[in-house]
Chain A
Amino acid sequence: MDPVFIVEDLGLSLGGTEILKGLSFTVNPGERIAFLGPSGAGKTSLLRVLAGNHQPSSGHVHTLGICLSELKPAGIRRVRSQMGFVHQDLALVPNLRVLQNVLAGRLGRLKALAALRSLLWPNKEQTHRVFELLEELGIGDKLYERTLSLSGGEQQRVALARALYQDPRALLADEPVSAVDPARSRDLIRLMSKVAEDRKLPLLVSLHNPELAREFFPRLVGLRQGSIVFDLPKEQVTDDHLEALYRIPSKASFPADQRA
């Protein structure tokens, strides 16, 4: 099977600051990867590039066999609509119902008018699909609740449901558990891994917590100051690797051959 993402020498500058430099890696279908690293390491930006939200400043990103930088806006929108993205702040519309927030996941596939119609008067089939998704995530009976009235954990499941409803080719999540307590974040990451595994979707998650990453992700990628520090199967990631990742910056730089 073809890789889902091929990243070659990716660089990204936003507003004059260099955020990512010289990243190269490949993501195969069904692979689950956790991106680790301190704040400001470029995890969020990397995910956003993969989702088609930022254009790379240098290098190439091939998504599903298509080179992102060669695409016109319409093509980029098509790529975006195939990437399920769970945002750090969830980015749900608080006073819409859960059903509508999940339905919003498909808006990218539809023409403007059809999109509005599906939101205001969803047909039976759409409602059923959303309901079954929510059931799978354990919040089926919240279908018609206002999103505002749900708990934090439930809202995260809604955001996940929205991403899954997109019928994505990959699932990306940016710090999905930064705002919940440890027990709940474990549940959520477990759930995410399970749904990704069931669907054979690649799952790319940025995380702060190395323990969670080691527990659920076979492959860990460490980022620091916009570069890859290590990219290893979890068994090979040692405490030294992690310590190096979170250490206060020093003059010593990391040898490039440490990458797998």
Chain B
Amino acid sequence: MTATDRPQSEPDRLRFNEERIRLLHKSRPQNRAVQVSGGLFVCMALFSLWHLDLQWGRLFADPSEPGLFRFLNQDIRPHVTRQPDWTWADLGTWLLTLLRDYGLRATWGTLLLATAAMGLAGFGGLLLAPLAARTLTVPDPYMGLQNGRRSLLSSAVRSLCLAMRALPEYVLGFLLLALLSGSTWPAVLALALHNAGILGRLFGDSLEDVPVTPMRGLAAGGARPSGLLLFGGAPQAFSRWLAYIFYRFETCVREATVLGMLGVISIGYYAKEMRSRQFYDELFVLVLLGALLVLLADALSGWLRSRLRQG
């Protein structure tokens, strides 16, 4: 397009430009996948909201009828404060008794559950990672001769990881409940399997992403894949592994607060019991304890990760 074949008169020029803009607009780069997905998601959300047939009545029900107001006003109020002449000392005694009877044990159990599961998951992740790293499982790893070659083993292990994390922890635990009759194993194993699937993939990814120069040096020196892993990959990926473990630990604690419902002495276990006994005030205290524990784990993991980043 040169200046000479541009129309000179004003109306002509406008029409000419309009046509060019139209053509440019027609051929503009577009991301169809994103557009279609976005549209589809909005339609699905609207359909779901309609089809779920939501009843909001109880949410705004009169305090005299069962509903949110009555729940907040009466049900979750500590029962000692429902007497007309209650004192703060009564409330304190009630809270302390609750904590002593099962509150502390529940919190401690939740923490144990999360930690044990995390230990197992970390171990599982370490086992899965080298197999999931596509750069390690090809012949002649890291020498860069077979870029883009697929490793059947890694694909299989990655699929296994996907399958492990696809099932919700709670479903896994529920299925294991009958198979591992009545112990704490179902909850621990469910949490560990799910997280091992996630960690295996994340660890594997970080093994693939480590700088290759030192690896090439080792490989050129004739190191076997195991040597590459132990002296090249693992030391370089190690702090990222730790960061992932801390990051998963915080989600693990959150998940552990409910997995106890499958029969491990923990917050979920007592929450379920208080619900069936309709002791909603005590249920509420348990929920708060759980929230506190999760926030603490959150802070701890955040602090550890920031320490790790600093080196």
Contact = CB atoms under 8 A, between A and B. Distances in A.
Within the complex, are A and B direct neighbours (CB within 8 Å)?
A: yes
A128 B21 contact: yes
A128 B24 CA distance: 12
A141 B21 CA distance: 8
Contact of B21 (A97, A127, A146, A149): A127
Interface residues of B, number: 11
B6 to A, nearest CB: 9
B33 to A, nearest CB: 15
A70 interface: no
A2 B132 CA distance: 72
Contact of A144 (B1, B14, B25): B25
Interface string B1-14: 10000000000001
B24 A143 contact: yes
A89 interface: no
A128 B18 contact: yes
B263 to A, nearest CB: 50
Contacts of A97: 28
A144 B20 contact: no
Interface string A116-131: 0000000010011001
B239 interface: no
Nearest to A145: B29
A141 B24 CA distance: 7
Interface string B201-235: 00000000000000000000000000000000000
A140 interface: yes
Nearest to B6: A135
B17 A131 contact: yes
Contacts of A146: 29
A127 B29 CA distance: 17
B21 A143 contact: yes
A97 B17 CA distance: 19
A144 B28 contact: yes
Contacts of B18: 124, 128
B18 to A, nearest CB: 7
Nearest to B21: A131
A39 to B, nearest CB: 30
A132 interface: yes
Given A131-B20, A145-B29, 8 more contacts: A127-B21, A128-B14, A128-B21, A140-B20, A141-B20, A143-B21, A144-B29, A146-B29
